[in-house]
Amino acid sequence: MYMTVHVLEKPASSKEHIVETLPPVLAVDKLTVKYQQQIGCENVNFATYPGERIAVIGPNGAGKSSLFKAIVGLHPVFTGQIRIAGNTVRQASKLISYVPQHESIDWNFPVSIWDTVMMVRTRLIGPFLLPRQRDRQAVQSALEQVDLWDLRHRQIGELSGGQRRRIFIARALAQEAKLVLMDEPFVGVDVKVETEIFDVLDILRREDITVLIATHNLAQAANHFDKVLMLNRHQIVFGKPVEVFTRDNLARTFGGTLRMWEEDGGLIMITDDPCHEDHHH
């Protein structure tokens, strides 16, 4: 696969004022995740602040999914710790919204868009009870923000690729989450849908919601995110795109799968990685 990465001094869209004096939304400290006797990711350290958008990049099997699953509490932490707004993962579960890989959703399941978004309020509604006025308003406002309100009665499989992904943004809004983790949301989408996704991601930024996105697309990571975490089993580097997009860091992240050269102020690179396929099954 061929792509050109022009690292812009100032990203195409970025958070204007990130106040790093506030306590971090997510603080990952010397984290190692093991799952079924295998190391997912090792010695990961970073902190993110309200409204930031972070790209997590690395080759297949670099531990991106493991890291995300540990942050949402699906994989146990082996060593180190994860703090979400100062709390443990378990205490903070209602603040975290996890968007799994697109293929893992059963799009033929008999649920409407409304049902899918209302689900995230299950804990807030409480056991045995029906949604209250407050819950219906939260879902309505979330659906209106991502422009799905008119389609709310549709079965989820009837939607386009961009609309399907917007459901999950609406979910994060309805859940009143502070941290959203999206596992490869750009796999198999065209440029039009990609733009559509970034438009709704800007809504989350306005609400000061921090977003972590695992992605293969380096050009996108360089230009649409506030910070980038490069991962290849262990953490290579974490920082602003202009600082971290160097030949050395990219070579260490992607190893032999990447060749690159500089031209016209941008990096041109070729990866052997058939990125837009899903190898997780």
Partner 1 sequence: MISQLERGFYVLLRDIDWFLGEPLSVEIFQRSLLAAIMVGIVSGVVGSLVVVRSMSFFGDALAHAVLPGVAYMYQRVKRGDVPDALTSEQDPLLWGGLAAGIFSAVAIGLLTRTGRVRSDSAIGVVFAGMFALGIAMISRIEGFSQDLTHILFGELFGVSAADLNLIILFSIVILIVVALLYKEFLIISFDPVLARTLNLPTELLRYVLLILIAVTIVVSLQTVGIALMIAMLVTPAAAAGLITHRLHWMMLVAAILGAISSIVGFYASFHMNIATGASIVLTATAIFIIIFIQQSVASYLSTTSLWWFTPDQGN
- Note the residues at the interface with partner 1 (CB under 8 A): 72-74, 90, 93-94, 96, 98, 100, 104-106, 109-112, 115-116, 118-120, 122-123, 125, 127-128, 155
User: What are 82's strand-pairing partners?
Assistant: 28
List phi, psi (to 5°) of 8: -80, 145
Q: How far is the CB of 218 from partner 1 (least distance, A)?
A: 28
Whether the CA torsion 11, 5, 63, 202 is positive or negative: it is positive
Q: Toward partner 1, which CB reaches closer, 122 or 246? A: 122
Residues 168 and 85: beta-carbon distance below 8 Å = no
For residue 208, the minimal CB distance to partner 1 (Å) is: 21
Tell me whether residue 26 or residue 244 sits nearer to partner 1 (CB atom).
26
Instruction: Output 21 or 108, the one with its CB closest to partner 1.
Output: 108
Residues 6+ apart with CB under 8 A from 201: 53, 169, 211
Question: Cβ of residue 85: shortest distance to partner 1, in angstroms?
Answer: 16
The smaller minimum CB distance to partner 1, of residues 63 and 100, is found at 100
CB of 97 to partner 1, least distance (A): 8
In angstroms, give the least distance from the CB of 146 to partner 1: 18
Residues contacting residue 27 through CB under 8 Å, at least 6 positions apart: 46, 47, 82, 83, 84
Return the SS3 of 40: strand
Nearer to partner 1, 70 or 218 (CB): 70
Strands 96-99 and 77-84: unpaired
Are 96 and 72 in contact by the 8 Å Cβ rule? The answer is: yes
Considering the complex, state which of residue 75 and residue 216 has its C-beta at the smaller distance from partner 1. Answer: 75
Across 93-209, the runs of DSSP E, i.e. the strands, are 96-99, 179-183
Could you count the other beta carbons within 10 Å of the beta carbon of residue 107?
13
For 86, the token pair is 């100062």
Q: Least distance (Å) from partner 1 to the CB of residue 6?
A: 36
CB-based contact 166:196 (threshold 8 Å): yes
Cα–Cα distance, 220 to 18 (Å, whole number)? 21
Min dist. Cβ of residue 81 to partner 1 (A): 18
Q: Which is nearer to partner 1, 65 or 223 (CB)?
A: 65
